[in-house]
Chains A and B, each alone.
Chain A
């Protein structure tokens, strides 16, 4: 078991420092970007001035996790599919339009995917393992797998999360990157997890990835069999809009995309919802089903107790 000790999310929902994100879910509001806290409370002014939205979100969530658990992380694992798009686009503009010998470097420096993890290590003055995974809609799931390996390797306090950032240009190209049809969104969710239960009530039991998914229903059932759980025991199914036979899958279920909007790492926020559902209800198991990109299936099983 991989116990969740705290979660911090910044999203379109009112999720930051909210003990029960599940209960306060409302339909995605395309008018809003993200409901963000005052970043100045978390990030020194001198650092903040350079940071794009994805870095602000990621660093703030990481800081909040650190503040809540009060211990240094001995592993930091970040997932992001498209990374720091705002700075990437900014630097594309800089070098394509410039005729100068001198180019402003800040956007380039902050365009690499591992800027999020790098900023977290700098912000927390943390010298530990620091990894960045980028694998389309499964960026969060492969990060979770790394986090689980860290715990199995003996690490005590692991920070794992995912962040994505929308830019206007994405509207133009989105159908070529991902076929799902929801309004574009930004968001970040970070989790402090460990192998020790302490005060934690909800744990990640297992994570599975499938890169040649053909029959999601069969694959869910096979996963649950492996985990020795009957489908009926799942109290909440959270799917990325997956079509499941309602007779077989008669469980309570929600399409989390209706609350997150569209980015590649929405399953991280779905895992936050699943946690809060279990934590605040008489329920034992929740399953996040992420097949946002057809063929690539991520399954994350959460358990209370």
Chain B
């Protein structure tokens, strides 16, 4: 699980061009959107691409993403449950 979180952070940084951040800057339970990393709805779409490309998970309705993309913890949990690769 912690390996997954580390990988996820690297993937997030790459997919969202967060060039100035390192995985250590992203807390497992910190909110990714709004006050946290300050991500927005375009990033939410990028998350959907990330999940499909790396984990074979298809989220057809962007509104489903709200709960899943809350934090690295929630993302990792969702991937553990649904990983298709």
Any A–B CB pair closer than 8 Å: yes
**B48 an interface residue at 8 Å Cβ cutoff?**
yes
The answer, among A101, A102, A103, A106, for a CB contact under 8 Å with B42, is A106
Instruction: Give the residues in chain A near B3, CB-CB below 8 Å.
Output: none
Count A interface residues, CB 8 Å: 12
Q: How far is the CB of A262 from chain B (nearest CB, A)?
A: 29
Instruction: Give the residues in chain B near A109, CB-CB below 8 Å.
Output: 42
Instruction: Give the residues in chain A near B49, CB-CB below 8 Å.
Output: 100, 102-105
Question: Is the interface on chain B under 10, 10 to 19, 20 to 34, or 35 or more residues?
Answer: 10 to 19
A45 and B20 in contact (CB under 8 A), knowing A102-B48, A105-B42?
yes
A-B pair number, CB within 8 angstroms: 31
Instruction: Give the residues in chain B near A100, CB-CB below 8 Å.
Output: 49, 52-53
CA distance A45 to B15 in the complex (A): 16
**B18 an interface residue at 8 Å Cβ cutoff?**
yes
Instruction: Give the residues in chain A near B16, CB-CB below 8 Å.
Output: 49
Q: Are B58 and A101 in contact (CB under 8 A)?
A: yes
**A17 an interface residue at 8 Å Cβ cutoff?**
no
CA distance A106 to B47 in the complex (A): 12
Instruction: Give the residues in chain B near A46, CB-CB below 8 Å.
Output: 38
14 further interface pairs, Cβ-Cβ under 8 Å (given A50-B42, A102-B58): A45-B20, A46-B38, A49-B17, A49-B18, A49-B19, A49-B20, A102-B48, A102-B49, A102-B53, A103-B49, A104-B15, A104-B49, A105-B42, A105-B45
